[in-house]
Amino acid sequence: MEGMFNENFILGCSAIGAGLAVIAGIGPGVGQGIAAGHAAAAVGRNPGAKGDVTGTMLLGQAVAETTGLYGLLVAMLLMFVKPLMP
């Protein structure tokens, strides 16, 4: 009985941890939306700088997206690999 409780407890905590890790996707989504909005405003003010603004925005969004991808990776590891199981 003791081993069964520990296994279920670990699985439950892994599921909670995976849910919390997926919440990490909210930050990059908001940040990318803000960046795209500011880039659109910048292009509206100066259409000649469209290439520079777009390139810089895409690079910044790619860097910001890594946070969400790391959260997704941690969630997948917790749900499917179960690293804490004996």
Range of the domain at 61: 2-81
Tally of structural domains, the chain: 1
Residue 86 resides in a domain: no
Task: Give the HSE-up count for residue 11: Cα atoms under 13 Å, Cβ half-sphere.
Answer: 7
pTM of this structure: 0.71
We report the CATH number of the domain holding residue 76 as: 1.20.20.10
DSSP 8-state class, residue 46:
-
pLDDT tens digits for 59-72?
A: 988 888 888 899 99
pLDDT at 64: 85
pLDDT at 45: 92
| Residue 29 near residue 68, CB atoms below 8 Å | yes
Interatomic CA distance for residues 41 and 35, integer angstroms: 10
> Which residue is listed with tokens 């969400």?
68
pLDDT tens digits for 7-63?
A: 888 888 888 999 998 888 888 889 888 988 999 999 999 899 888 888 988 898 888
